[in-house]
Amino acid sequence: MVSEPELNFVLIPLLAASHIIPMVDMAKLLAQRGVTVTLVMTPLNAIRFTAVIDRAIGSGLLIRVVELQFPAKEAGLPEGCESADVLPCLKSRRQFFAAVSMLQEQAEKLLEEMKPKPSCIISDTHVAWTAETAHKFQIPRIIFDGMSCFNQFCMHNLYIMKDQNQIPESGSFVIPDLPDRIEVTKVQLPGAFNPSTICVQDIRDKIRAAETRAYGIVINTFEELERRYVDKFRKLKDGRVWCIGPLSLCNNDNLDKAQRGNKVSFDKEDSLKKWLDYWQPESVVYACLGSLSHTTVVQFVELALGMEASGYPFILVVKSGEREAPTDNWISENGFEERTKERGLLIRGWAPQVLILSHPAIGGFLTHCGWNSTLEGISAGVPMITWPLFAEQFLNERFLLNVLKMGVSVGSHEVVHLGEEEKYEVQVRKEEITKAIRRTMDKEKEGNERRKRAKEVGEMANKAVEKDGSSHLNLKLLIKEVQEFQLKQSA
């Protein structure tokens, strides 16, 4: 237990729900070890997490939230547009990053006046200006990327291939120098190697340059999950890699699970639990394609009908907002919700994913393979139906399928870049979705082996965060590292 009051970890997340959520979990874990934690956010983002943070503070944890005024107007964004998941369109991404850059001056003024003085900055890797700020305050900048070590190492090798012009334009290729055979195509790669029509390469270059200056990196993973990749990535980073996940497992309380990330969209808190309690263990499919992605109505129809045809009870998360009006219209006009009400539950808006996945009734998780969701599924010991959409999600799918062997693919073949969804035809047909669900939920040999493997991995995840588990020890080492740095500075 670290009791020195001068230790103050300043956490600066990228302003997007999927990036803030693990940072809030991290804040709770650090504070549980006696460290003062200062979370830097903007007012509308802070509101999302008030209930969870207030409860943590009420339990005696030293967590503070400091708010920066988000310069939406100055960056050319609509007022109140403070998060990447509420941008009016993808073309606004450049303005969003411009606004994030403008936060530097405000943040540095706060750091100057902060007591206790900042001991380190743990910054989302996408907030590049924190490299300059950490240098100015002579404190370590530890980056948090929200990706696995497997993914980090794949990306490292892909950058080498890109620099040597070795990524083929068409056909599949094997990513070199990995412990496992990982085969991909260019159109399945993240934007750095497979750019969209909206060019943000200059922003990526700035982020990568700032990454090279980082003192170390915190990873939301656990060593037993991907030990060979952890070892390889540690060598790349001179040993300063701390695997402290799964971060979601710090939420033991059902209320914390329910309120993690945003206000849940249904009325009665216990209605979801009652619905799930009705079903047999491992009989329900939960489907959610993430907080950032947009699914066109034609693709949503295939998903909905595929789930219906599978014959299994299901929970389907439906996005809310203006862009989703055609989907809502189809649901009511087609009679889908009414027709499936005996065994289907639609959740509009935000879903309490960790709470749902931890229920014994869940037998399969249809996911977009974002790393937060992937790790939440792993922690719950649930086999996954994989439907990668964009960014590094196809690499996460390969990890689930080829390395962990606890997933079944719906057969998506190509990245659908954010903001360009309307340009693509239907990527996955209802028949493929039904087939993947049935293979996953199957209780015969193949399905049983996958389920057994998922449970084993889930048990490993939970042991990692327990006292003297690998992630528990890594958190201790991280705090010790910052403490020793501070002692050297003051010597």
Q: State the Cα–Cα distance between residues 403 and 219, nearest whole angstrom.
A: 18
Q: Are 117 and 490 in contact (CB under 8 A)?
A: no
Task: Give me the pLDDT at residue 3, please.
Answer: 46
Residue whose structure tokens are 């690998």: 470
In the three-class reduction of DSSP (H, G, I as helix; E, B as strand; rest coil), residue 1 is classed as coil
Placement of tokens 């009705």 in the chain: 278
The pLDDT of residue 425 is 79
CATH for the stretch 8-250+464-490: 3.40.50.2000
pLDDT of residue 151: 98
- Closest C-alpha among 184, 162, 163 to residue 173: 184
- The per-residue pLDDT string of the chain (491 residues; one tens digit each, 9 = 90 and over) reads 444 548 999 999 999 999 999 999 999 999 999 999 999 999 999 999 999 999 999 999 999 999 999 999 999 999 999 999 888 887 899 999 999 999 999 999 999 999 999 999 999 999 999 999 999 999 999 999 899 999 999 999 999 999 999 999 999 999 999 999 999 999 999 999 999 887 788 999 999 999 999 999 999 999 999 999 999 999 999 999 999 999 999 988 777 777 776 655 555 558 999 999 999 999 999 999 998 888 999 999 999 999 999 999 999 999 887 778 899 999 999 999 999 999 999 999 989 999 999 999 999 999 999 999 999 999 999 999 999 999 999 999 999 999 999 999 999 999 998 888 888 879 999 999 999 999 999 988 899 999 999 999 999 999 999 999 999 999 999 999 999 999 988 87
CATH entry 3.40.50.2000 includes domain 263-462 = yes
Residue 292 to residue 53: CA distance in whole angstroms = 23
Q: What is the DSSP letter of 272?
A: H
Give the pLDDT of residue 252.
Answer: 80
Beta strands in 49-202 (DSSP E): 63-67, 120-124, 141-144, 172-174, 183-185
Among candidates 127, 110, 129, 144, which has minimal Cα distance to 215? 144
Q: Determine the Cα–Cα distance for residues 180 and 96; give it in Å rounded to an integer.
A: 37
Beta strands in 160-289 (DSSP E): 172-174, 183-185, 216-219, 241-243, 284-288
Using CA atoms, how far apart are residues 419 and 427, in angstroms rounded to an integer? 16
**Cα separation values, 27 from 23, 53, 82, 231, Å:** 6, 9, 21, 26
Query: How many Å apart are CA 68 and CA 130, to the nearest integer?
Result: 14
Is the fold of 8-250+464-490 the same as that of 263-462?
A: yes
Burial class (CB in 10 A: 0-12, 13-18, 19+), 41: buried
pLDDT of residue 263: 57
Query: How do strand 172-174 and strand 183-185 relate by DSSP bridges?
Result: antiparallel
Whole-angstrom CA distances from 33 to 60, 62, 123, 167, 359 are 12, 10, 19, 45, 29
d(CA 275, CA 361): 10
User: Where in the chain are the domains?
Assistant: 8-250+464-490, 263-462
Dihedral sign for Cα atoms in the order 86, 92, 96, 102: negative
DSSP string for residues in 424-478: S--SS-HHHHHHHHHHHH--SHHHHHHHHHHHHHHHHHHHHHSTTSHHHHHHHHH
Coil vs helix vs strand at 20? helix
